Structure 1
């Protein structure tokens, strides 16, 4: 038998399959997607098995696979096939795609051990005493000294042992100590009757066991709590032989189910029911089809999602639900958990490496058939997928920023075709690309124009901050917004304030010479963070203490310019000293569970203010929120990006939708220095349709998506001249090879020329036909290996979401 493998070296020279012989002992064990160790040159390297065949066309000496790394496959045939497609279309090495599909724990240093489930059976197989397995595990190397791979596989299949991966210095499997009664209730009564009165704590434990007629194992912690005794007391009873103590592996739950109240499906309104029926009908056909569910904020899209997932489960199929932000995940996860309980697996970046691994194993073992999470959840190894749903499909966070630069929407479409299931893209403000596809019939458009609470969308007031600037009372809040906040707080209602800039001030400037303190590694000013008295770079994370004098002229007259969430929070505390102010941005949500904690804190307090960056603008549902304030609507409008208007409109519309979601009416105040800008005016009207057609005309005139494909080629190097020379060489190569149907913008420096000491040069390609350019881009990728050795890095990003 021959196995085709992809070697774990991300270079052009080995970016193809290699044939290796499979030892007859391993033939029954090898599976597609497994990782194996192979001899490669003078080294032994990890490789993925991507195909198995009977013979090879290779004329030379075919080497033998050294050993199995996995005894189970973490990648299905579907994902292995998908890796080939993504490698070709994303201009990435296939090994990079395969690695991206795996849980992180399989990409770090670890050791493989076997968890001993049946010590007696294993002891018989090895002619050892069962006491040899007191630790509950046996090292892989130890077991392989005694048994062949086939024998080990047999023990795994008979549940005698189980494969476990342990990160060095970090446990992979969580264990809980259980107490097992090894006497009958009557025997425990006899022991209690004869017990010395000085051992009253042991007596309390015995009494609990007798009263509860305990014959099954119970957690050590739980028994100690019930008996009001210490664990040491119970361990003493173990030593006396009255009880047995054992460790059992448990999954680390990504969320606590016991705190989630079960929920039932809600009656659907007419428009919800029509949308549900159309997707359900398609589910019965076992054919792929993409639906764009365009529903205003508060129109009940989530309930439609949940009922569609329920339909998939009814026919023994699985479901994937993607959400864009970790901040969105707590509320969405709680809704999914309340409906489907322990059958839900959660995957997002806020989980620890080992929690993700536990969730991944639950998916592989089909213990969880519903996956909810962020971008990478699209690679969940589910079988028989019945529905894929992407909530807030317009979000740029669905595009991976580094290699491989996949878009979750495109991966979802491929998996939808593979499984013959519907794909639902939901949003109040769909991306122009998706809505354009719906216009021409590639997607099926479904609309929800009414809110579930039957209320109108909240009225929006625009405040011209150029007029407010003359008053100079409060640079952050206009008098109107300040009065509105006071009014809502007095009524014990809640307020949401958006400012899409963290930190205290945008930059620190010397009033004597005008010098702005810059990052020494990036061509951008440092942001002032007052809480820890530091200047920080938001691109390379450089930090420095607050200087007392200007580094250029020595003046002490340093002044902060611009505002960030820290500064606004400080002003709010001065204006409303008795009001809870909850701030949500990257600085306050770094710790695990911080998002959920802050949102709960806000939900539990009437008359509270939630201040945050864009992470608070989407998906949050609080009935008491009656005012949304946008402190500066202009932060994203003037970015050097053709999508700046689209992103700004989406953000304003989404945050406006956070109010008026209950029985109380809501309102919105938007502060801006550009009140007549079409984005501001159309956001005021909640008019997505007009915005779509207006923006489409602009895109057509300037030849941008969705009318043209785009690819961004980025060259970076610490040597500016070398980077510039390389980008011009790439442009010349494309001009010579691709004669027609290609428009190029640049080369130019990036929006920020230098980031983390690397100079950035961009070349933007616009074209109509992908096939005309694919070979040339692959050639650029392959040739970039030589320049990489010289410290010049080339990146190819198909349909980029950012241009800085």
Structure 2
């Protein structure tokens, strides 16, 4: 038998299938298996993408060496999907295959020097073991190594190591009958308390064995020495046993069969989705529901319908911060059938959840973007909550959009996709208007409460509380009023840190990142200036680094500064801050949200991660510190992002019995995105923004492709970008539009200069092949220090 293998070498020359002979002893090779194969002088990992009985190759095929996993980690569907995606998003196939797996399952390669004679084995260089060449850096040792290789006294070998480790625990099995243990117990002296406690436990709870050693020790209050003694006497048999790490151990474990009564709109939506589930239709639904309209309940009922059909369900959420609340609801409804996949898990937890899914031990998967590749079989429903969110698009290679992958998986499994949002993306809504998606609407809140009242505060005319010009007096008064009533407040500022930049009032110097074309942000809690692009940090200056003047100021604002000001203005209020800086540690998202949910804080202050999906009954006021942060971005969809964010965060108020209120601070109260968000008027915004997009020839009226060229040398990046543009101009013609090349809005990131070309087109048959040529040429450009990236339908053009 012949295995077709994609090898773990991301290059133009290796982006194809290689064939290997399958030895008779390797009976467990299947499509989707991870294998180790010889490749040139080294060994590499690869994926089996096909198996055949014959080959057209006339020479002798090399043998496949090792099958890494007991069960192939990827399904045949995912293997086929990788080929389709590679063509669509201009990526090497191996890169997509690796993206489908948890990071811990990626190969770890080691280059070692192996001695070839007994004499050389005793050389101090080896110390009885092969030498890891990755750890060698000094010139003297390198010269010695070269001499050994030249004299055939040592050779270089390449090892492929599997980083994924199973969690093993010690379990104890019984070796005798219950009657035999009773007889042994009768012969044990009364002073041997630990042994008698163990034997009593075995007799009384005979059917509960085998048991974990740690469980026995904690239940009986005995030490491991007692268990070792029991093993020596032949009472117990010790065995290493694999267990799953459980990321859901802090969630309620009992599945709840109670069902929320749906209103007529929810029932209509559910019936439409349910029909497609039962009839196995690859149909896409756009569930457009105002905030608080009960979209989640529609999802949960639809998942129940899917499970009743003995099929599996996949549900995506955009932010890790949403996952705890969403997982809690799904876990309460479906119990141990639920698995979770997101970047907040440890590597071990991700590995174990992945294997649970692959083994068919979980029927419902909840996760963020990468969970779209969960190795589920027999999928009956795919849900993408908050489908408008840009976080569903991967910003680096491979640049896939989870929604596009969901539609491909839907066709394979003949199952519906439900895209849910209070503010659908314009592209999704336009597809619904054309009938490509079926539009389902929820126009009223599930609890029959009205939407919160939204007030705009014009920062150009209002008076401020405190001295920082962040919090207006009306907003602070409203916060005080809510706290006095024992109600809670959510405050949004989509900018972290303390101050945006440092300015010298004497010479005008702004402290910038040495690696990026961006100012450093002051982080007062760590006492550092920090770059939010590359992570560069340096101490807070006391003098201007340029002219040594002490007349420096820290301008702009962030969540840290607002928190400090709130603590001054409201000394008795308990404030929680939720941003990237406070949620770095594992479990921090859940800890903050649980604390706020248990009313251990009055105010939750955060960035956009608090703007959507959260449901706290006691929140009656939402304040937006500055609604203009996204409006100033040089991007075609900045108005859409502003409208989405404001509408979503406004929906966090008044979700239960108490009336909600929203206060939005802005310098642009007449801007249509802010004005329409005040009334939560999605229909009005859709009509207005579609006119703007039509006039500017932007999506959804045009398709877009962004080509980015980067280099450490700015002239080289610009020159290559113009070469690419000329190539495009020769092949493409009107009405296709080619913009650029221009420097990115942040021209330098991590010491790389960025130049961009934007192609806008309606129908361009030559473009696909042309982009693949550019992708192939990128490898040659890389040798000249250039990187070329192709992004189909980019979420950001900056």
Q: TM-score, normalization: structure 1?
A: 0.89
Aligned partner of 2:10 in structure 1 is 10
Contact kept in structure 1, 2:317 and 2:369, CA below 8 Å: yes
Stretches of structure 2 lacking an aligned partner (at least 5 in a row): 111-158
Q: How far has the Cα of 1:18 moved from its partner? A: 2.6
d(CA) in 2 for partners of 1:546, 1:430 = 42
d(CA) in 2 for partners of 1:44, 1:605 = 57
Aligned partner of 2:49 in structure 1 is 50
Q: How far has the Cα of 1:473 moved from its partner? A: 4.3
Secondary structure of 2:279's partner? Answer: coil
Stretch deviating more after TM superposition (242-251 or 436-445): 242-251
Stretch deviating more after TM superposition (762-771 or 295-304): 762-771
1:221 to 214, 229, 246: 214
Aligned partner of 2:491 in structure 1 is 497
Contact kept in structure 1, 2:636 and 2:797, CA below 8 Å: no
Q: How far has the Cα of 1:536 moved from its partner? A: 0.1
Cα deviation per residue 1:59-87 (whole Å; 9 max; x = unaligned)?
Answer: 55544434434443222221111111111
Secondary structure of 2:321's partner? Answer: coil
- The verdict on how the C-alpha distance between 1:606 and 1:660 changes in structure 2, with shifts beyond 3 A counting, is farther
Aligned partner of 2:154 in structure 1 is none
Cα deviation per residue 1:370-421 (whole Å; 9 max; x = unaligned)?
Answer: 1110111111111111111100000000001111100000010011111111
Question: Would you say 1:291 and 2:290 are equivalent positions?
Answer: no
Aligned partner of 1:142 in structure 2 is none
Cα deviation per residue 1:722-749 (whole Å; 9 max; x = unaligned)?
Answer: 1110000000011012233320111100
Q: How far has the Cα of 1:89 moved from its partner? A: 0.8
Stretch deviating more after TM superposition (1-10 or 501-510): 1-10
Secondary structure of 1:554's partner? Answer: coil
Secondary structure of 1:467's partner? Answer: coil
2:193 to 197, 200, 210: 200
- The verdict on how the C-alpha distance between 1:490 and 1:233 changes in structure 2, with shifts beyond 3 A counting, is farther
Question: Would you say 1:309 and 2:309 are equivalent positions?
Answer: no
Aligned partner of 2:706 in structure 1 is 712
Q: How far has the Cα of 1:286 moved from its partner? A: 1.6
How many residues align structurally?
Answer: 749
Secondary structure of 2:633's partner? Answer: coil
Q: How far has the Cα of 1:30 moved from its partner? A: 2.8
Contact kept in structure 2, 1:488 and 1:607, CA below 8 Å: no
d(CA) in 2 for partners of 1:373, 1:493 = 31
Aligned partner of 1:118 in structure 2 is none
1:440 to 434, 438, 447: 434
Cα deviation per residue 1:122-168 (whole Å; 9 max; x = unaligned)?
Answer: xxxxxxxxxxxxxxxxxxxxxxxxxxxxxxxxxxxxxxxxxxxx997
Q: TM-score, normalization: structure 2?
A: 0.90
d(CA) in 2 for partners of 1:532, 1:300 = 41
Aligned partner of 2:239 in structure 1 is 246
Q: How far has the Cα of 1:592 moved from its partner? A: 0.8
d(CA) in 1 for partners of 2:369, 2:460 = 40
Question: Would you say 1:603 and 2:597 are equivalent positions?
Answer: yes
Q: Give runs of aligned pairs for residues 335-484 of structure 1, distance below 5 A.
A: 335-468=329-462, 473-484=467-478
Stretch deviating more after TM superposition (462-471 or 629-638): 462-471
Aligned partner of 2:248 in structure 1 is 255
Contact kept in structure 1, 2:251 and 2:331, CA below 8 Å: no
d(CA) in 1 for partners of 2:316, 2:476 = 37
d(CA) in 2 for partners of 1:679, 1:390 = 25
d(CA) in 2 for partners of 1:190, 1:17 = 66
Question: Would you say 1:281 and 2:275 are equivalent positions?
Answer: yes
Secondary structure of 1:109's partner? Answer: strand
Q: How far has the Cα of 1:169 moved from its partner? A: 11
Contact kept in structure 2, 1:185 and 1:214, CA below 8 Å: no
Q: How far has the Cα of 1:467 moved from its partner? A: 1.5
1:785 to 751, 774, 779: 779
- The verdict on how the C-alpha distance between 1:571 and 1:205 changes in structure 2, with shifts beyond 3 A counting, is farther
Aligned partner of 2:83 in structure 1 is 84
Secondary structure of 1:400's partner? Answer: coil
d(CA) in 2 for partners of 1:747, 1:54 = 50
Aligned partner of 1:122 in structure 2 is none
- The verdict on how the C-alpha distance between 1:167 and 1:262 changes in structure 2, with shifts beyond 3 A counting, is farther
- The verdict on how the C-alpha distance between 1:726 and 1:764 changes in structure 2, with shifts beyond 3 A counting, is same
d(CA) in 1 for partners of 2:649, 2:20 = 56
Stretch deviating more after TM superposition (84-93 or 278-287): 278-287
Aligned partner of 2:583 in structure 1 is 589
- The verdict on how the C-alpha distance between 1:231 and 1:56 changes in structure 2, with shifts beyond 3 A counting, is closer
d(CA) in 1 for partners of 2:402, 2:457 = 38
Aligned partner of 1:74 in structure 2 is 73
Contact kept in structure 2, 1:606 and 1:624, CA below 8 Å: no
Contact kept in structure 2, 1:494 and 1:606, CA below 8 Å: no
Stretch deviating more after TM superposition (35-44 or 87-96): 35-44
- The verdict on how the C-alpha distance between 1:61 and 1:197 changes in structure 2, with shifts beyond 3 A counting, is closer
Contact kept in structure 2, 1:509 and 1:560, CA below 8 Å: yes
Contact kept in structure 1, 2:492 and 2:610, CA below 8 Å: yes
Q: How far has the Cα of 1:279 moved from its partner? A: 0.8
Q: Give runs of aligned pairs for residues 166-185 of structure 1, distance below 5 A.
A: 172-182=165-175
- The verdict on how the C-alpha distance between 1:189 and 1:472 changes in structure 2, with shifts beyond 3 A counting, is closer
Q: How far has the Cα of 1:284 moved from its partner? A: 2.0
Secondary structure of 1:797's partner? Answer: strand
d(CA) in 2 for partners of 1:634, 1:275 = 35
Q: How far has the Cα of 1:186 moved from its partner? A: 5.8
Aligned partner of 1:150 in structure 2 is none
- The verdict on how the C-alpha distance between 1:205 and 1:29 changes in structure 2, with shifts beyond 3 A counting, is closer
Aligned partner of 1:325 in structure 2 is 319
d(CA) in 2 for partners of 1:76, 1:629 = 47
Secondary structure of 1:500's partner? Answer: coil
d(CA) in 2 for partners of 1:12, 1:171 = 28
Q: Give runs of aligned pairs for residues 462-611 of structure 1, distance below 5 A.
A: 462-468=456-462, 473-605=467-599, 608-611=602-605
Cα deviation per residue 1:12-37 (whole Å; 9 max; x = unaligned)?
Answer: 122222333333444x5331122333
Cα deviation per residue 1:751-781 (whole Å; 9 max; x = unaligned)?
Answer: 1011111011011110112533001100000
Q: Give runs of aligned pairs for residues 46-125 of structure 1, distance below 5 A.
A: 46-109=45-108
d(CA) in 2 for partners of 1:414, 1:318 = 16
Aligned partner of 1:40 in structure 2 is 39
d(CA) in 2 for partners of 1:108, 1:57 = 30
Contact kept in structure 1, 2:626 and 2:664, CA below 8 Å: yes
- Superposed CA RMSD in Å reads 2.2
Q: How far has the Cα of 1:215 moved from its partner? A: 5.7
Stretch deviating more after TM superposition (768-777 or 240-249): 240-249
Q: How far has the Cα of 1:53 moved from its partner? A: 2.5
Q: How far has the Cα of 1:218 moved from its partner? A: 2.7
Question: Would you say 1:677 and 2:676 are equivalent positions?
Answer: no
d(CA) in 2 for partners of 1:14, 1:248 = 40
Stretch deviating more after TM superposition (665-674 or 66-75): 66-75
d(CA) in 1 for partners of 2:383, 2:196 = 56
Contact kept in structure 2, 1:491 and 1:607, CA below 8 Å: no
Q: Give runs of aligned pairs for residues 587-666 of structure 1, distance below 5 A.
A: 587-605=581-599, 608-666=602-660
d(CA) in 2 for partners of 1:471, 1:269 = 44
Q: How far has the Cα of 1:6 moved from its partner? A: 1.8
- The verdict on how the C-alpha distance between 1:167 and 1:224 changes in structure 2, with shifts beyond 3 A counting, is farther
Contact kept in structure 2, 1:257 and 1:342, CA below 8 Å: no
d(CA) in 1 for partners of 2:575, 2:756 = 42
Cα deviation per residue 1:495-516 (whole Å; 9 max; x = unaligned)?
Answer: 1110000001111112222211
